[in-house]
């Protein structure tokens, strides 16, 4: 089956690799020509897709990374996995629109089109469907199938992968649902059908809003507990012993990735647009989580003041640029915000992250390796991402002061968030 996966990023590339494994002939389309060339050379930019996996897919002859729209012609299934960022607080669906235009020009009778990009309820039927029909001259539900299946990929999670996480599937009608479900049944262990694309779109936003709100709750608890001189991490660990009615979430320097900083805002935007009412939980969670980088900076400044030092001129070593441990994913990372704010205060900011090769942080931030010399010469070490390959024993031995926002280490010179 000729399958086109539009977007070869953190979502699209794993989907493409799984589709190749399942025996599909896969066109991995991406508008980024350099990315397509690198993928064709066997160079993966996604840690969940190893070089060996990518080379094996290329060796089958059934994976073709490309930026040529003509390669999409004649597809049987097209899956849209392009980014859906926020621009000035509003959803930007321009990438979805552009991808849908490409699909529409290649669309033929009997084909199936699936949107995976996270978006607000109604996008599949109100945005994607009209573009497909207008540009192709075909009718959805009669000439071609259309559906939605939210992505559930968790970068760096080796236990729950694309293949074994249940896949929500939906179609604009029963035949479309059957087609969408039949496709994903070749890729995943279990599919979960729902009644409409809007329900499926809401499922994704519900999942991430749940996480966003609960992380905001424990972040606020962490700030209050610190002011009360109570160890929030001890309290969370104790609460987690309750076998019912409690789910453990932990505080941190903020939220990152595409999902948490962005997805709930899609729902909040849609609620305001359609119902003219605020979604107060989301807006409050955005406020709390958005303030966490400033709170971290405030804790660092206070610690320096206790040592008789100003932030201006202090040498500060940040551990981690990625938004989550053991990945190179820097999308929306709070670490970048912490670095920028410390630079603005006049600090000499250094960052160590063995997983991240390049990142558009402030040019005044210096990238370093985590060595005894770098640690010992720093006025403060701030743990922002607790990668397993950081030598935390070395940090404990050499650092004069540590602010650990992830509760990875404990010691007489370590403060927790």
Give the pLDDT confidence of 181-215 residue by residue, as tens digits. 999 999 999 999 999 999 999 999 999 999 999 99
Residue labelled with tokens 């890729």 = 187
- Tell me, yes or no, if 72 is annotated catalytic: no
Q: Are residues 139 and 20 in the same domain?
A: yes
Question: Is pLDDT of 241 > 90?
Answer: yes
Q: Are residues 388 and 240 in the same domain?
A: yes
Q: What is the pLDDT of residue 261?
A: 67
Q: Are residues 100 and 19 in the same domain?
A: yes
Q: Are residues 48 and 134 in the same domain?
A: yes
Domain-terminating residue out of 195, 220, 253: 195
- Residue 147 belongs to some domain of the structure: yes
Q: What is the pLDDT of residue 382?
A: 98
Cβ–Cβ under 8 Å, residues 361 and 321 = yes
Taking alpha carbons only, the member of 97, 124, 127, 126 closest to residue 112 is 124
Q: Are residues 62 and 188 in the same domain?
A: yes
CB atoms within 10 A of CB 144: 23
Domain-terminating residue out of 169, 195, 221: 195
Give the pLDDT confidence of 269-280 residue by residue, as tens digits. 888 888 888 888
Q: Which of 16, 54, 222, 259 is catalytic?
A: 259
Whole-number Å distance between alpha carbons of 105 and 138: 11
Residue numbers of the domain that contains 18: 2-195
- Residue 208 belongs to some domain of the structure: no
Question: Is pLDDT of 163 > 70?
Answer: yes
**Token pair listed for 218:** 């424990």
Q: Lowest mean pLDDT: which of 105-109, 158-162, 319-323, 390-394? A: 158-162
- Number of structural domains in the chain: 2
- Residue 201 belongs to some domain of the structure: no
Give me the CATH number covering residue 87: 3.40.50.720
Average pLDDT of span 395-404: 98
- Residue 293 belongs to some domain of the structure: yes
Question: Is pLDDT of 66 > 80?
Answer: yes
Residue labelled with tokens 């040529």 = 68
Cβ–Cβ under 8 Å, residues 398 and 375 = yes
Q: Are residues 252 and 167 in the same domain?
A: no
Beta carbons within 8 Å of 240's beta carbon, 6+ residues apart: 246, 248
Q: Are residues 320 and 369 in the same domain?
A: yes
pLDDT band of 361, cuts 50, 70, 90? confident
Q: Are residues 182 and 245 in the same domain?
A: no
Predicted TM-score (pTM) of this structure: 0.90
- DSSP designation for 126: I
- Residue 351 belongs to some domain of the structure: yes
Q: Are residues 178 and 57 in the same domain?
A: yes
Give the pLDDT confidence of 10-62 residue by residue, as tens digits. 999 999 999 999 999 999 999 999 999 999 999 999 888 999 999 999 999 99
Q: Are residues 161 and 21 in the same domain?
A: yes
Whole-number Å distance between alpha carbons of 7 and 28: 7
Helix, strand, coil % in the chain, rounded to nearest 5: 40, 15, 45
């Amino acid at each position: 089956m000729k399958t086109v996966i539009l977007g070869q990023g953190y979502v699209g590339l794993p989907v493409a690799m799984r589709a190749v494994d399942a025996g599909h002939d896969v066109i991995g389309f991406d508008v980024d020509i350099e990315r397509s060339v690198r993928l064709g050379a066997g160079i993966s930019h996604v840690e969940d897709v190893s070089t060996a996996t990518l080379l094996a897919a290329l060796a089958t002859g059934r994976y073709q990374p490309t930026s040529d729209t003509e390669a999409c012609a004649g597809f049987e299934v097209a899956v849209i996995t392009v980014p859906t960022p926020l621009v000035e607080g509003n959803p930007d669906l321009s990438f979805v629109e552009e991808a849908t235009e490409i699909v529409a020009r290649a669309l033929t009778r009997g084909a199936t089109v699936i949107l995976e990009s996270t978006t607000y309820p109604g996008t599949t039927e109100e945005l994607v469907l009209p573009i497909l029909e207008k540009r192709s001259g075909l009718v959805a539900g009669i000439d071609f199938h259309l559906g939605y299946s939210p992505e559930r990929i968790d970068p760096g999670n080796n236990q729950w992968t694309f293949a074994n996480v249940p896949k929500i599937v939906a179609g604009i009608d029963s035949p479309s649902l059957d087609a969408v479900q039949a496709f994903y049944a070749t890729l995943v262990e279990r599919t979960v059908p729902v009644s409409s694309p809007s329900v499926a779109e809401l499922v994704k936003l519900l999942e991430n809003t749940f996480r966003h709100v609960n992380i905001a709750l424990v972040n606020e608890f962490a700030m209050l507990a610190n002011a009360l001189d109570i160890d929030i991490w001890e309290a969370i660990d104790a609460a987690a012993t309750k076998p019912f009615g409690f789910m453990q979430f932990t505080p941190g320097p903020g939220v990152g990735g595409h999902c948490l900083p962005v997805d709930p805002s899609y729902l909040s935007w849609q609620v305001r647009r359609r119902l003219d009412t605020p979604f107060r939980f989301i807006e409050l969670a955005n406020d709390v989580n958005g303030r966490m980088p400033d709170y971290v900076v405030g804790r660092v400044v206070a610690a320096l003041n206790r040592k008789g030092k100003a932030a201006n001129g202090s040498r500060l070593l940040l551990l981690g640029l990625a938004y989550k441990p053991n990945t190179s994913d820097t999308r929306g990372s709070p670490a970048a915000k912490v670095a920028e704010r410390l630079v603005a205060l006049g600090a000499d900011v250094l960052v160590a992250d063995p997983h991240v090769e390049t990142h558009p942080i402030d040019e005044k931030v210096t990238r370093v390796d985590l060595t005894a010399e770098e640690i010992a010469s720093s006025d403060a070490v701030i743990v922002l991402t607790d990668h397993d390959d950081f030598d935390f024993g070395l940090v404990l031995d050499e650092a004069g002061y540590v602010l650990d926002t992830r509760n990875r280490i404990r010691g007489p010179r370590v403060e927790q968030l």
